A and B are shown apart, each in its own frame.
Chain A
Amino acid sequence: MITFDNVTKLYQKDIVGVKDISLTITAGEFVSIVGQSGSGKTTMAKLIIAEERATKGRVVIGDWDITGIKHSDVPMLRRQIGVVFQDFKLLPRKTVLENVAFALEVSGASNTQIKSVVPQVLKIVGLESKQDRFPHQLSGGEQQRVVIARSLVHRPKILVADEPTGNLDSINAQDIIDLLKRINSFGTTVVLVTHNREVVNTLRKRVITLDHGQVIADQKSGKYIL
């Protein structure tokens, strides 16, 4: 469960990231956070993975209040949350297999575990035949699938996807959304940050709409209303 309790994030003194946000995302939900550029969507994603700290209010992941999380505890939090970025953020000097394995290696998983889990996850995202390629040898859609594989490999309870289809064509975008739905069907909470109207409208899942850093709509089975 993710709880935002009256959360405000200010950049410098007067630039509002998000303002007075209170909401709860329950375990296993698929939630789309939508809004125009600068509405605070990415700030919410960054608050969940402690890339940003709330100026006011509380952010709670499960039973863990991460509002004032110590720097040394951040890696532990991030090992429990999968993150997918619009710009992929793959390690350029590592192959597909190594990129995915890296998420397990940082958490101290054994080599046996890595050898058994990574090929399975690569199979889920359909990249088992390209495991020895480097990121620059893959298409945008394939790179995004590697990112999803990496975010899944440590079996996170929460997956945060920040504009995962932003750099993809419509066919690849639909593939990625199907993959996220499949992951959600396994019980993983998915938080999808997007401004893709088509994607949101076809999902028919919960939609939280932000405008100027504030929640202006929270629909259980909603549509893109802006």
Chain B
Amino acid sequence: MFTSSLRIVRFALQNFWRDIWLSTVTIVIFVLAITLVGILSGVKVVTDQAIGVLKSKVDVVVTFVPKTPEQTVLDLKTKLEQLPETASVSYISAADNLKLFKSMHADEQAITEGTDALSANPFGPSLKVQAKSLEQYSSISKLFEDQAYAPFIDSGSKSLESNQIAIQKLSNFTRTVNRFSLALTIIFSIIAILVVVNTMRIAMYSHREEIGIMKLVGASNWFVRGPFLIESVCIGILAAALASGVIIGGILLLSHWFTALFQGYDINMTAYFLNHFFSIFWGPLVGALLLSMVSAGIAVGRYLKV
């Protein structure tokens, strides 16, 4: 058994090397298929990150009228924090709101003088709420209609309404992008699968006579199939390694573009890709390896009935 297994491995490596042109062509086609799906996986990651950045910038600010009892604001804060849809709630005091307003209008003398002339703080406190997903803002906002809080919420605060529209638009946009990217991934994955399977079938077809001869000489099915399976594993591994090289090269080439795209945000896309390389690209890499084995096994099986 051990001797036979060693022979099968030897035959596989021998066949791979002696038919180097067919092996090379098969590997090149595999690399193209893997890279194609790999690029789509990469694009999806970049899109997800970009959408993530947009989402992280979305929040709802509820401003209270001046002289709202602090306990009412803190009660609402606690209730908001208890909602499963809430990601974070931060309390901004009336004094902080005034400070923020002044800093935003520091260059406008009239506004600065006007606010300084006021004897009392015209601002009330506010709560800045972030939901876990865009779709959850509408359910969170229902709490603001509660009669315990609604009278204290500043009617002039339009943040809620205008944000709702923007959130809805963003939500629709991300849903469309995700659907489009999923559809593209499915279509190109199917194309890649067909390419890999048919390449292997053609490779096995070119060896059909050889398979028949082995059988006529008395080789058992596994003795015939074994070298072809191992050869397909070699092709799959080499193609995966080369495709990884191509993808990594592409990532490094595009690193300047990634830096420009996420400028101002704490995101290093190149490092992210390199650190999460296998978790992002395992699908096409492992898929090509398994597909090449399975399709080789099935294709050889067709010619074993001699």
Binding site for B on A (CB under 8 A): 49, 51, 72, 74-79, 83, 85, 89-94, 102-103, 105-108, 110-111, 150, 154
Contacts and interface: CB of A to CB of B under 8 A. Distances in A.
Contacts of B215: 74-75, 78
Contacts of A105: 4, 7
Contacts of A85: 216
Given A79-B218, A89-B213, A89-B216, 10 more contacts: A75-B223, A78-B216, A83-B216, A85-B216, A93-B15, A94-B14, A106-B218, A108-B4, A110-B3, A111-B3
Contact of A107 (B19, B213, B214, B218): B218
Given A51-B306, A93-B15, A111-B3, A106 B219 contact: yes
B142 interface: no
Interface in B208-225: 209-210, 212-220, 223
B3 A75 contact: no
A93 B217 contact: no
A133 B155 CA distance: 94
Contacts of A106: 214, 217-220, 223
Contacts of A102: 214, 217, 219
A60 B63 CA distance: 99
Contact of B218 (A51, A72, A78, A110): A78
Interface in B86-115: none
B216 A91 contact: no
B57 interface: no
Contacts of A77: 218
B3 A49 contact: no
Nearest to B18: A93
A108 B3 contact: yes
A90 B218 contact: no
Contacts of A94: 14
13 contacts: A75-B215, A75-B220, A77-B218, A78-B215, A78-B216, A79-B218, A85-B216, A92-B210, A93-B15, A94-B14, A106-B220, A107-B218, A154-B218
A83 to B, nearest CB: 6
Contacts of A83: 216-217
A74 B18 CA distance: 29
A154 B223 CA distance: 17
Contacts of A76: 218
B300 to A, nearest CB: 15
A76 to B, nearest CB: 8
B218 A75 contact: yes
The list of the 8 closest CB pairs from A to B, nearest first, reads A78-B218, A79-B218, A106-B219, A93-B18, A75-B220, A89-B213, A75-B218, A106-B218
Nearest to A110: B3
A77 B7 CA distance: 21
Interface string B185-220: 000000000000000000000000110111111111
Interface string B37-79: 0000000000000000000000000000000000000000000
A92 B219 CA distance: 16
Nearest to A83: B216
Contacts of B219: 75, 102, 106
A78 B19 contact: no
A83 B223 CA distance: 19
Nearest to A78: B218
B230 to A, nearest CB: 14
Given A106-B223, A108-B4, A110-B3, A93 B218 contact: no
Given A105-B7, A108-B3, A78 B217 contact: yes
A109 B98 CA distance: 93
A93 B216 contact: no
A102 to B, nearest CB: 6
A51 B304 CA distance: 11
A191 to B, nearest CB: 15
Contacts of B7: 105
A28 B210 CA distance: 31
B182 to A, nearest CB: 44
Contacts of A93: 14-15, 18-19, 210
A105 B216 CA distance: 14
Contact of A49 (B4, B14, B216, B223): B216
Interface string B217-238: 1111001000000000000000
Contacts of A111: 3
Contacts of B15: 93
A103 B209 CA distance: 16
Listed residue (A49, A90, A93, A103) with the most chain B CB atoms within 10 angstroms of its CB: A93
Given A105-B7, A108-B4, A110-B3, A90 B216 contact: no
